[in-house]
């Protein structure tokens, strides 16, 4: 999907920088190499990008213009909660849910195309005031969660797994809305929690809360 978009828009000086939020480089490297993308693909083992842009899930994106200004702060990149209704054994989705997912992706990509074509005149580009209003700045709890995760990851890399675990769990406790932290703490142990009953139990525990935060974009399904 993203390679196709890049091929379509690169003539307009548009590029994509893809960042994999994987604490283990081997978890995503094989997929990146197999995709043979023509735009930069990075592996953010230390979650530095997630910290800087306050990212809590994937896929999320940030629109940045040619001057370096954030036009749309961190938001879900066309992903919505329709996946929650899928069959958890076959991963099949109802036609209605699949249609919602497809509509969200198409709307997001078309909005991106509109911005690349029109720049600041695009209806989907926030001005400075609106962009600032959509920024979610880190709280002290978020900063402490990030510090705990970084320390836990460091200890884990040294092979001190028992010492690392309390810091990783404290990071998750301090920032329960970050699926990135939860997913990567699980991935360090290579236990595959992201597709396990534990993942679905955590999703179910959300109740009426969103897994993917709604995007402030006209027509976007919620």
Local mean pLDDT, 10-residue blocks, the chain (222 residues)? 93 95 78 90 88 94 97 96 92 94 96 97 97 93 95 93 95 94 79 71 94 94 80
Residue 64 has what pLDDT? 98
Give residue 222's pLDDT. Answer: 74
Query: For 65-117, how does the pLDDT look when each residue is reduced to its tens digit (9 = 90+)?
Result: 999 999 999 999 999 999 999 998 898 999 999 999 999 999 999 999 999 99
CA 79, CA 57: separation in Å to the nearest integer? Answer: 10
Question: For residue 135, what are its two tokens?
Answer: 């920024």
**Measured distance CA(180)–CA(16) in Å, rounded:** 21
Q: Looking at residue 164, what is its pLDDT?
A: 94
Q: What architecture (CATH level 2) is domain 2-134? A: 3-Layer(aba) Sandwich (3.40)
Q: Whole-prediction pTM value?
A: 0.90
């Amino acid at each position: 999907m993203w390679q196709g978009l890049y091929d379509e828009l690169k003539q307009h000086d548009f590029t994509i920088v893809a960042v994999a939020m994987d604490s283990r480089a081997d978890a995503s490297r094989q997929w990146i190499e197999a995709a043979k993308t023509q735009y930069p693909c990075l592996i953010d083992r230390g979650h530095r990008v997630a910290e800087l842009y306050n990212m809590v899930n994937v896929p999320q994106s940030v629109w940045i213009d040619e001057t370096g200004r954030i036009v749309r702060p961190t938001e879900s990149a066309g992903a919505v909660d329709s996946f929650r209704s899928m069959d958890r054994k076959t991963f099949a989705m109802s036609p209605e849910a699949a249609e919602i997912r497809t509509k969200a992706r198409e709307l997001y990509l078309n909005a991106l195309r509109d911005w690349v074509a029109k720049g600041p005149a695009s209806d989907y580009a926030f001005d400075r005031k609106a962009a600032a209003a959509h920024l979610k700045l880190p709280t002290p709890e978020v900063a402490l969660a990030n510090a705990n995760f970084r320390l836990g990851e460091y200890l884990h890399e040294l092979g001190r797994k028992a010492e690392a675990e309390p810091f990783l769990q404290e990071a998750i406790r301090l920032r329960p809305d970050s699926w990135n932290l939860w997913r990567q703490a699980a991935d360090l142990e290579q236990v595959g929690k992201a597709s396990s009953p534990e993942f679905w139990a955590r999703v179910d525990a959300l109740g009426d809360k969103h897994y993917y935060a709604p995007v402030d974009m006209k027509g976007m399904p919620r």
